[in-house]
Amino acid sequence: KSAPQQRFDFAGGRFNALLSDFAAEPGWDLYEAQQFNIIFISPQTPKYTFPACFHPVFLERPSTSRRIITSLKPGTMAGDKGRGGGAGEKRRPRDLGRGEWSRQNIDKRARHEQQAEAKRRKIENGDEPQDPIYATQFSKEEIDNEERRPKKKAAVLLGYSGTGYSGMQLNVNRKTIEGDLFAAFVAAGAISKANAADPKKSSFVRCARTDKGVHAAGNVVSLKMIVEDPDIVQKINEKLSPQIRVWGIELTSKSFSCYQLCDSRVYEYLMPSHCLLPPHPSTYLGRKIVESAEQAGETDALAARQEEVAGFWEEIDEKHIKPILENVPEDVRQVIQKALYWKENQEAPEGAEDASAVAPEPNEQPPTEQSTETSEGQPDQMDPRQQLIHDTIKSIKAAYNAAKRNYRVPTSRITRLQECLNQYEGTKNFHNYTIQKTHRDPSSKRHIKSFNVNPTPIVINGTEWLSLKVHGQSFMMHQIRKMVAMAALVVRSGCPPARINETYGPDRIAIPKAPGLGLLLERPIFDGYNVKASSLGREHIDFSKFSKEMDEFKQREIYDRIFREEDETHAFASFFNHIDSYPVEYFLYVTAGGISTAKLVTAPGSSKPSSTAQSGNSQQEALAAVEAESEDEANPPDGGEEGG
């Protein structure tokens, strides 16, 4: 059989095959791994070698395995550095795509036996193994006496509020959604006592993981479970916190995996409209935006993009802040002004140490959100001057918060936000919107089907909120929260929306992640599986049949929690104020100077020479300083997948 003359490009240890003609060839199976843009071909003959002008590629028949075997050698083509880059560079195993992961030849029985053997050795050595907090332990006698009942593969449709939980995924010593859910399955009799300590024995798989504090109106886990009891859903819910609800259980095909067969996901993000207000002119970012526009000759363009918010902060300062400051003595007023609006390279005035005792420097904390609470017992130690400073700063903070709550975003500003969200649609390289991925990593490319903001805001407890919905095939860890933060930064800084397109290049920039408080997984979509389910006589995996219960749950357990927590913590205002006041250049890519203005940790092929490791550490420190949550990103679960 002669091979059609197709072109193969080999780069970075991978190849892209232009094999469309094979689709018409009888005896060839064509299936695509979209995540890597690689098309796998399986001939009916045991092996097939492409012509000598190409690198030899061998493929096995689908009847034996859907696995691609290559004899490609990195560095054999001109200009190709192979998987690990140039000589002397550290090579890191690439991330597996969803399709490739599913084709791994893993001996699960051997893996379980190894884990059991490791546990046995620990016991023999006197080390007491720590049981996961989600495991339910039963005696051997209880397990032996339990009636054996048939298990069936099923999809469990659920929703939850992530407040108080360390994410969706199982954790040995932390409270998680899956941990509580698995324990409820055991307590309700949906999982046998013999399998009560190990979810793997039930083939427990999640559709999408969510980060700490992130909510889900709809999510799916699949597993082998006992479903003969018609009241099993009610019994499971009785064992769960009101924050977690099981909507229904659908029997599936034996090979069903909610992770593998999920076509796409829809997320919603809620944020107050005051997140689109520009930085206060006295903050570091506020000053740099103006300075950069003047240097680039773009003052008029900046003013045009900020027309609807021009003079907002000046009016607030004149009407609400100035009267507060006029009620204190001149010497105290100067101390407070310097403590709140300390200019760069300006010496502290005499007496500033009095303010530092009750308020941190503004470069570390913003004027509107800085902590004015003293340590335990400190109010008793304050002299009258310090107490006056403390009370005045607290009043100023309350005035700024009230001004933000009363802000109502103009339609033109929502339109500009939509222009920013449009920049994300399509297949893009989102390496800057996650962690531990490079521009060269094929898994950094993700496809966004749509990203829209509801043009009609809602007002809850005096604060105006915007709803953003994104529909994508798959998402990486923190990707959605970083996309939201970047879009908001572009709008509030008067930056052209097209700046977002520059973030897909090789330059590495520090994009902070917006608070997880506002993110929720609305639902996963299984259109492809549902077509197959109809032919098998199975029910579709469809959340619409539970819409009434889900809407009530979303309002009570998710939306109300988000609104209430924001009123108590001011998480969004604090997040953006930290960015505005942090005195480093890492976030200046939203100024007229562009991405080249920011101090970057650059990648091969970028516009700037590589920075030192110390710069990389400083960049991470800057992100940690402005982000509300302190999450462990050293070892992200699931390879950093599906974190939102």
Alpha helical stretches, state H, 441-559: 479-492, 499-502, 527-536, 547-553
Is 546 or 347 the better-scoring residue by pLDDT? 546
Say if residues 504 and 429 touch (Cβ distance below 8 Å): yes
Say if residues 258 and 222 touch (Cβ distance below 8 Å): yes
pLDDT at 98: 57
Nearest 10 degrees: Cα torsion 429, 433, 438, 440: 0
**In 100-183, where do the E strands start and end?**
152-160
CATH fold label, 270-292+409-520+552-640: Alpha-Beta Plaits (3.30.70)
Is 84 or 441 the better-scoring residue by pLDDT? 441
Residue 398 corresponds to which amino acid?
A
pLDDT at 217: 96
Q: How far apart are CA 612 and CA 510, in angstroms?
A: 15
Is 154 or 638 the better-scoring residue by pLDDT? 154
pLDDT of 291 above 70:
yes
Which residues are marked as active site?
211
Residue 451: phi, psi to the nearest 5?
-150, 110
pLDDT at 25: 43
CATH fold label, 129-261: Alpha-Beta Plaits (3.30.70)
pTM of the model: 0.74
pLDDT at 370: 39
Residues carrying CATH 3.30.70.660, the chain: 270-292+409-520+552-640
Confidence of residue 54 (pLDDT cuts 50, 70, 90): very low
Q: How far apart are CA 235 and CA 249, in angstroms?
A: 12
Q: Mean pLDDT across the stretch 459-473?
A: 96
Alpha helical stretches, state H, 423-513: 479-492, 499-502
Residues carrying CATH 3.30.70.580, the chain: 129-261
Say if residues 567 and 463 touch (Cβ distance below 8 Å): yes
Give me the half-sphere count of Cα atoms (radius 13 Å) on the Cβ side of residue 523. 15
Q: How far apart are CA 171 and CA 182, in angstroms?
A: 12
Confidence of residue 617 (pLDDT cuts 50, 70, 90): low
Residue 381 corresponds to which amino acid?
Q
Interval 362-377: pLDDT, tens: 333 433 333 334 444 4
Window from 122-131, 133-142, 178-187, 626-635 with minimum mean pLDDT? 626-635
Q: Of 445, 465, 446, whose CA–CA distance to 454 is shortest?
A: 465
Is 267 annotated in some ligand binding site? yes
Q: How far apart are CA 563 and CA 86, in angstroms?
A: 51
pLDDT at 24: 42
Alpha helical stretches, state H, 538-581: 547-553, 560-569, 571-581
Say if residues 354 and 393 touch (Cβ distance below 8 Å): no
Interval 410-419: pLDDT, tens: 999 999 999 9
pLDDT of 152 above 80:
yes
Say if residues 565 and 267 touch (Cβ distance below 8 Å): no
Tokens 């080249």 correspond to what residue?
Answer: 596
Say if residues 59 and 52 touch (Cβ distance below 8 Å): no
Interval 480-529: pLDDT, tens: 999 999 999 999 999 999 999 999 999 999 999 999 999 999 999 999 99
